[in-house]
Amino acid sequence: MIYQGESIRVDFIEPGFAELQFDAKGSVNKFDQATLEEFSEALTKLKNTDDLRGVIVTSSKSTFIVGADITEFLTLFSDQEKTRSWVAKASRVFDQLEDLPVPTVGAVTGFALGGGCEALLACDYRVADSTATIGLPEVKLGLIPGFGGTMRLPRVIGPDNALEWITTGKNNKALDALKVGAVDAVVEPENLTKAALNLAKDAAAGQQDWKAKRQPKLEPLKANDTELMMTLVTAKGMVAAKAGKHYPAPHKAIEAIENGAREHREGALTAENNAFFDLTQTEACQAQVGIFLADQAVKGKSKKYAKAATKEIKTAGVLGAGIMGGGIAYQSALKGVPAVMKDIKQDALDLGMKEAGKILKKGVERGKVNSEKMIKILSSITPTLLNDAVKDVDIVVEAVVENPKVKGSVLAEIEDVIGDDAILTSNTSTISITELAKNLKRPEKFCGMHFFNPVHKMPLVEIIRGEKTSDDTVNAVVAYALKLGKTPIVVNDCPGFLVNRVLFPYLAGFAGMVDEGVDFVGIDKVMEKQFGWPMGPAYLSDVVGIDTADHCTVVMEDGFPTRMKRDESSAIAKLAAAECYGQKNGKGFYVYGTDKKGKPTKEADPATYELLGCEQGKKLDADEVIARCMIPMVNEVVRCLEEDIVGSAAEADMALLYGLGFPPFRGGPFRYLETLGMDNFIQLADKYAHLGEIYQVTDGMREMAKAGKSYFDTTSAK
C-alpha cells in the first residue's frame, strides 16, 4: 500500500502502475478540506515512489466525484483571510497531480462535477464510461471553478467551448465531452479500469506522447489575439443577455479566463484565485450557496416522510378537469401513476384532455417525447362523468372551484365512493383544510395538496396538514408528490397556508402605493429589474387572476382580520368590481392582446389609470418601492415560522423560490433578511410601521436581533 487515508487509497494495480482511488465513507466522493489534505499527501507519496511508471485515478463508487463539499462554504467564506489562503492552497494540490513525473489517466464513471472535473483536467488523459456526466456547474452557486478549471479547460477543449461550459454550468454526457476533446475515449463501464490502465501503459511505453499532451496546460493559451478577442466578445454578449447584472459569476468566469489567457499556469491560476475570492464575498454567492443547502435540507426531509409511508400510491383520481385538473392528471400519468379525471361537464373533460395533449405536443415538437410515449401517457388518463370510476383509486386530488361550500360538498360525496384506505386531498390555495375536513367521516385521511399553475412546470407542492390529518396520510402524499417529480413542503393549516399567506401582504404593500396614486407600471419595473422578481406585483396579479386575488382577500381577512383587512377601495377590489380579471379576460392592470405577428402584447390602458385613480409616470424612489413591497412579505414569513406553519427557514425559502419565483440571487426571504442584516431590516420596517400592522416586525424578530441569532441556526428542517 502506497497510501491509505479516510477517503483516498493508493496502491499498485500492476507492477509500476498505481491506482489512486477515491473511496469516501459516505455515499459519494467530494472534496472537503480533509479530502484535499489527503489528496496532497497521496500525491506526495506517489511523487516519491520508486519504479512508478504510470497512475490511474479512479472511484470505488458508481459516481466519480460530485465536487467540493458545499456545506463548508458559508462558514469558510465568512473569513476573508482563510478563504484566500484556502483557495490558493487547494488549487495547487491539483498541480501536484499534473506534475507527477509519469503519465496520468483519469477514469470517470457517473458524475464528475466541479472539483471532480478539475481533477480529471489535471490528468494527462481522460477515459469515460458511457454513464459519465462531466461539467463545471459552479456558476449555479454564484461561483466559478476554483481548482484550476478556468485555466485548464480552455487549454484542453479550446476557449469557445470552455466558455460555454463554464458560463452556463451545464452538464455534459460522455459522448458530448468526447466530441470537444474533454475526454480521450468512451468505453462501457465494465471496461473502464482496463482501458485507463492500457492507456497509461501505452503512454509509459512511448506509444503516446504524454509530455506533449500535458505541456499546453502549463503554457499561455494557444489562440491568436483576434480569435481570442472574438470569442470573449461573443461570450460577454451571451452572458449579459442571459445572466444579466444580478448574477456576477459568469461575468467573473470570463474575466478569469481573459486575465489568465496570456499567462503560464501559475499566473492563470492566480487570476482564477482572485476572481473566485471576489465572488465568495458577494451576496449572490451567499444566496445561491444558501439555496443549495436549503434544497438539500428540504429533499432530505421529504425522503424521510416518503420512507415512512405505509401506503403506496399506484392510481390517482382528479376531481375537476379544466386547465388545473388536466395539468395534475397529465403530471400523474407522465410519471407512471394512471389518473381518472372526473368532472360534471363534458366540455371541462375535453378541456382537461386538450391541456394534457397540448403539453405533450410541445414535448414532441421539441424532441423530448415521441409519439408512442404521447399515446401511452394520454391513454393513462381516463376522463369520466361518473363518480364510480374513481372508487378504486389510491388517492383523489380535488381541484374544483375555489369555494368552500362547493369543495366541501364534492369532498363529502366522493368520500362515500372511494375505499376506506384511500386518501383524499384538496388542491385549494387558501381554504382551511381543518374546516374542509369537518365535512368528512375520515378527516385523518385528508390533507391539502396545493399545486401551482402551470402544474407541469412549477416544482412546488404544498402539503397541508389539518388538525386531524394523520402522519400516515402526510407520508403517503409526500411520497406521491415526489413520484410526480415535485418538491413537496409540508406546512400546517392556516388561511393561505404558507405561499399565499405571505404573498398577500406583499400585494397589499403594492396596492397601498397604487392607492396613493403611484404608477403601477413603474412599481413593476422596479420589482422586476432591480429586485429581480420574474413578474412585478401588478403583472403577477393579472396572471393569478384579479377575481381570484380578490376572492382570496376575503379568506385572508377572515383569518387575519386586523392585519389583512379587506379594502373595498383598493386597486384589486376596484378591478374585480369592474370585471377586469387580468389575463383570463384580457384586461386587468394591463390590457392583453396580440400584435400583427400573433405575439402576445401587454400594455397599460389609460382607462385603468382612470379607474384606479393613479397617475401615469408618478414614481417613488426605487428603494422605497422595494421596502414597501418586501417588508410585509418578510414580516409574514417570519410569523409563519414563529407560529410553526412552516418547519424551518430553509423550507420557507425554497417554498417561495419554487412557488413564487423569489429571485434566486437573493436566496429566499430568510436569506434576504440575513443579507440585509436583521438590525437594518428592523430599522427600515420601523420607518414604515405607521402604514399598518403588515409593516410591524414581531417581538420574536427583535429578540433574535438583540441576541445576534440567525434563523438558520435556530431552525432546521426537522
Mean pLDDT calculated for residue range 680-690: 98
CB 432 within 8 A of CB 495: yes
Assess whether pLDDT exceeds 50 at residue 246. yes
Q: Tell me what the mean pLDDT of segment 42-64 comes to.
A: 97
Any idea which fold 312-492 has? Rossmann fold (3.40.50)
| Cα–Cα distance list, 242 to 237, 314, 419, 539 (Å) | 9, 41, 51, 22
User: CA-CA distance, 478 to 453, in Å (whole number)?
Assistant: 19
User: Average of pLDDT values for 627-656?
Assistant: 97
pLDDT value, residue 365: 84
- Quick check: helix, strand or coil at residue 374? helix
Peptide bond into 664 cis (omega under 30): no
Instruction: Reply yes or no: is the peptide bond before residue 454 cis, omega within 30 of 0.
Output: yes
C-alpha cell, 506: 406583499
**CATH number 1.10.1040.50 is the correct assignment for the domain at 499-707:** yes
Please check whether residue 155 is in contact with residue 217, taking contact to mean a CB–CB distance below 8 angstroms: yes
Cell 382570496, residue located: 552
pLDDT at residue 598 is higher than 70: yes
In this predicted structure, the answer to whether residue 339 has a pLDDT above a threshold of 60 is: yes
User: What's residue 370's pLDDT?
Assistant: 86
**Could you tell me which of 337, 342, 332, 471 has the C-alpha nearest to residue 417?**
342
Q: Which of 246, 251, 450, 456 is catalytic?
A: 450
Closest among 383, 324, 380, 316 to 355, alpha carbons compared: 324
Task: Return the H-helix or E-strand segment holding 55.
Answer: strand 54-59
- Annotated binding-site members: 295, 324, 343, 400-402, 407, 429, 453, 500, 658
Q: Between 248-260 and 265-280, two packed helices, what is the crossing angle to 10 degrees?
A: 160
Residue 716: predicted pLDDT: 40
- Largest Cα span, the chain: 87
Q: What is the pLDDT of residue 201?
A: 97
Q: Is the pLDDT of residue 216 over 80?
A: yes
Sheet holding 125-129: strands in order across? Answer: 3-4, 8-14, 17-22, 54-59, 104-108, 125-129, 185-187
d(CA 425, CA 449): 6
Binding residues for substrate: 295, 500, 658
- Report the C-alpha gap between 490 and 494 in whole angstroms: 13
Per-residue pLDDT averaged across 307-321, rounded? 96
| Percentage of residues in the chain having pLDDT higher than 70 | 99
Whether pLDDT at 241 is above 50: yes
Mean pLDDT of 31-48: 97
Name the residue ranges covered by the structural domains of the chain.
3-281, 312-492, 499-707
The band of 207, judged by pLDDT with boundaries at 50, 70 and 90, is very high
- Please state the residue numbers annotated as binding site for NAD(+): 324, 343, 400-402, 407, 429, 453
Confidence of residue 369 (pLDDT cuts 50, 70, 90): confident
User: Vertex 428, ends 424 and 433: CA angle to 5°?
Assistant: 60
> Strand 446-451 relative to strand 316-319: parallel, antiparallel, unpaired?
unpaired
* pLDDT confidence tier of residue 367, bands split at 50, 70 and 90: confident
Span 542-578, pLDDT tens digits? 998 999 899 888 889 999 999 999 988 999 999 999 9
pLDDT 10s digits, 162-200: 999 999 999 999 999 999 999 999 999 999 999 999 999
Closest CA to 337 of 357, 320, 317, 323: 317
Average pLDDT rounded to a whole number, residues 264-281 = 97
In whole angstroms, what is the distance from residue 82 CA to residue 69 CA?
16
Average pLDDT of the chain to the nearest whole number: 95
Distance CA 88, CA 148 (A): 10
Residue 151: pLDDT band by 50, 70, 90 thresholds?
very high
pLDDT at residue 344 tops 80: yes
pLDDT of amino acid 362: 87
What is the band of 714 on the pLDDT scale with cuts at 50, 70, 90? low
Q: Cell match 430599522: residue?
A: 683
- For 298-303, the CB contacts below 8 A with 24+ separation are 298/487, 298/489, 298/650, 298/651, 298/654, 298/717, 299/487, 300/717, 301/490, 301/647, 301/651, 301/717, 301/718, 302/478, 302/481, 302/482, 302/487, 302/488, 302/489, 303/482
Whole-prediction pTM: 0.92
Q: What is the pLDDT of residue 718?
A: 42
Give yes or no: 450 in active site: yes
Give how far Cα 509 sits from Cα of 369, 606, 675, Å.
Answer: 43, 23, 21
Binning pLDDT at 50, 70 and 90, where does residue 337 land?
very high
Please spell the DSSP secondary structure of 639-680, one letter per residue: HHHHTTSBS-HHHHHHHHHHHH---GGGTSHHHHHHHH-HHH
Q: Which phi and psi (to 5°) does residue 395 adopt?
A: -145, 145
Alpha carbons 166 and 250: distance in angstroms, whole number: 7
Per DSSP, 698 falls in state P
Nearest to 106 by CA among 180, 36, 205, 174: 174
Query: What's the pLDDT at 288?
Result: 96
pLDDT in tens, 388-412: 999 999 999 999 988 899 999 999 9
Domain 3-281 has CATH 3.30.1490.20: no
Question: d(Cα 52, Cα 30) in Å, to the nearest integer?
Answer: 27
Render 441-484 in DSSP notation, one character per residue. Answer: S-GGGEEEEEE-SSTTT--EEEEEE-TT--HHHHHHHHHHHHHT
pLDDT of residue 641 exceeding 70, the answer is yes
How far apart (Å, rounded) are the C-alpha atoms in residues 693 and 371?
55
C-alpha to C-alpha distance for 413 and 440, rounded to whole angstroms? 9
Domains 312-492 and 499-707 share a fold: no
The confidence score (pLDDT) of residue 717 equals 40
pLDDT at 55: 98
Q: How far out from the chain centre does Cα 65 lie?
A: 21
Quick one: pLDDT at residue 715?
46
